[in-house]
Amino acid sequence: MTRIDRAYVAVALALLVIGELLGFYMGMTSNMKLRTVHIAIVLNGFVTLSLFGFAYRLWPAMKTAKLAAAQFWLSVVGVLGIAAGTYQYVTTGGIAIVAPASALLIAGSILLLWLFWTRSDAA
């Protein structure tokens, strides 16, 4: 994935817009019930995925790793699952989605750490 950095930032920006629209809706309706969902989308979605994209941009040798694509998909699916799972938790109290999604994002973060540790000093 030679353009993984751009893919991360593109997904992050899309989630930022979604989070902003949700925040705008909450403010417009004066209903803060989905505040936790808004925070999950903006914090996990925009902030985390942007930082992951910046890491790949700053250390381009990480892009050449065979595990880079797996790391990308674990993280993106994990973030989307956390957003959906947070909605489920807020509306029903269930954690059937958010718990495994959190595990996916943790796995993606650990894999990014591994890629950074093993590839960031490459020329």
CA dihedral 104, 65, 3, 81 (to 10 degrees): 0
The residue ranges of every structural domain in the chain are 4-119
The string of pLDDT tens digits covering residues 57-79 is 999 999 999 999 999 999 999 99
Q: What predicted TM-score, i.e. pTM, was given to this entire model?
A: 0.93
Given a cut of 70, whether residue 123 has pLDDT beyond it is no
**pLDDT at residue number 24:** 98
The string of pLDDT tens digits covering residues 109-122 is 999 999 999 999 87
**b/e for 73-88, b at 16 or more Cβ within 10 A?**
ebbbebbbbbbebbbb
